[in-house]
Structure 1
Amino acid sequence: MNLEKHKNNILENGFTIFRDIFSEEDIDKISDHIQNIDTSKETFRKSEDLFAIRQFLKEIPGINELIFNDKIKAIIKEIFGEKYFVVKSIYFDKPEKSNWYVAYHQDLTISVDKKLQLENFGPWTTKQNQFAVQPPLNILENIFTIRIHLDDTDEHNGALKVVPKSHAKGIYRPETIDWNMETEEICNVEKGGIMIMKPLLLHGSNRTTNGKKRRVIHIEFSDRELPEGLNWAERMN
């Protein structure tokens, strides 16, 4: 793993892709863990189009040891730094029949434990007792997201499409993208690979056309403390 090269990719383009971080056996173990859970809780979302688990690392007992293998730990330490901790985790399963399309967007909110009147924090949303808020830009700029791919993902089954370098342009409204200036890149990731991205990178995904699954574990990391009285909802060292 040439970590320096990957670090530069993230800095310059807002993302990078690693192959073979998890073996076939690792993926099977993770999949088995997810299969054997009680899905009746509020943090689970089930529809024909999507199966999602919010607060994934908290909800699935024993999953942390499988996720945080030596390779992932080395990547976090070298690329993010010593002080980073988990602030959010979600599992997405877009079933074969799902025709889920996601328009270009940035990830602009963080999950917190309560709603407070704070300068430069807002707007606020609440979903099933989960508070989310748009924080100041410097907090968003310091977040890293790791996307672990449990299936091969390419342009035919909804791979992420991104606008390289858009992470460095602050809040970037998708309707203002000038395609004469910007390019689009499809991020194909093989099963067992990971993609690391900055949440301010403009990203979206097209509909699946080949009827293949696309399961992804999405984990966000920060090294920032929030203002007094406000805490990261899913903080985990």
Structure 2
Amino acid sequence: MNLQNHKDLIQENGFTIINNIFSDEETEKISEFIQHIDTSKETFRKSEDLFAIRQFLKEIPNVKDLIFNENIKSIIKDIFGSDYFVVKSIYFDKPEKSNWYVAYHQDLTISVDRKAELPDFGPWTTKQNQFAVQPPLDILENIFTIRIHLDDTDENNGALKVIPGSHAKEIYRPETIDWTIETEEICRVEKGGIMIMKPLILHGSNRTTNGKRRRVIHIEFSDRELPCGLSWSERMEFEN
């Protein structure tokens, strides 16, 4: 697998798409693990428009070996290096008739183990005993996200739309987007494919219109330790 082109695209545009990373058999096995879990926990969010599992890899540890197959491990090593570890994981299921619309935004917070008064860290939020904070920009710039698609995804069932290159413009408020110079791109990803993105890229998604569900596993990675004894709340090593 020649990954230099994808490495260049991430640097330039803030994202890339690589299909055929998981076989149909692998995606079905992952789906089976998800179907047989207790959904009553606090880390689960369930509504007509969305089913989500926060701390996904902690909640379903048996799925870890399936997700970190040889393809994913070589992609992480060759594109980002051998020192990266998991810092956040979420599962999203956008049902067939979902009206869930996500406006353009950047992913500006990280999940940590506690609240601490640190310079350049803030604002802070707490959800389901989970501390989240906006860290200094250099920490955000160092993170990358892999989105694993368990369904074919296009503009009709909530594929991400992004503004290429916006990851390089630091904090970019959506209300200030200048559409005379920016363009929107729809990220169509096949079942078993992945999208890799920098969290600072402006991204959003539209409502589902074709009656097809969209299931995505969102995993964030970093190779940075946090200052003053603060720790990533979901830190997880994997064999790379």
Count of aligned positions: 237
1:34 pairs with 2:34: yes
1:25-104 superposed matches below 5 A? 25-104=25-104
Deviation at 1:2, TM superposition (A): 2.1
Q: CA–CA distance in 2 between the matches of 1:55 and 1:128? A: 11
Report the residue type matching 1:95 in the other structure.
Answer: P
Identity across aligned pairs (percent)? 81
Q: CA–CA distance in 1 between the matches of 2:85 and 2:44? A: 23
- What are the ranges of 5 or more consecutive residues in structure 1 without an aligned counterpart? none
Q: CA–CA distance in 2 between the matches of 1:77 and 1:114? A: 30
Secondary structure in 2 aligned to 1:62? helix
Report the residue type matching 2:21 in the other structure.
Answer: I
1:128 pairs with 2:135: no
Deviations 1:84-105 (A, max 9, x none): 0000000000111111100000
Report the residue type matching 1:85 in the other structure.
Answer: F
Q: CA–CA distance in 1 between the matches of 2:116 and 2:229? A: 8
- What are the ranges of 5 or more consecutive residues in structure 2 without an aligned counterpart? none
1:24 pairs with 2:24: yes
Q: CA–CA distance in 2 between the matches of 1:61 and 1:225? A: 23
TM-score normalised by structure 2 residue count = 0.98
1:189 pairs with 2:192: no
1:12 pairs with 2:41: no
TM-score normalised by structure 1 residue count = 0.99
Report the residue type matching 2:179 in the other structure.
Answer: W
Q: Which residue of 2 aligns with 1:109?
A: 109
Q: CA–CA distance in 1 between the matches of 2:64 and 2:126? A: 27
CA contact (8 A) 2:13 2:167 kept: yes
Report the residue type matching 1:189 in the other structure.
Answer: V
Report the residue type matching 1:139 in the other structure.
Answer: I
Secondary structure in 2 aligned to 1:75? helix
Deviation at 1:182, TM superposition (A): 0.5
CA contact (8 A) 2:97 2:209 kept: no
Q: CA–CA distance in 2 between the matches of 1:191 and 1:221? A: 22
Secondary structure in 1 aligned to 2:61? coil
Secondary structure in 2 aligned to 1:172? coil
Q: CA–CA distance in 1 between the matches of 2:204 and 2:2? A: 27
Deviations 1:19-63 (A, max 9, x none): 100000001100000001111111111111111000000101310
Q: Which residue of 1 aligns with 2:171?
A: 171
Runs of 4+ in structure 1 displaced over 3 angstroms?
none
1:217 pairs with 2:233: no
Q: CA–CA distance in 2 between the matches of 1:47 and 1:110? A: 24
1:132-143 superposed matches below 5 A? 132-143=132-143
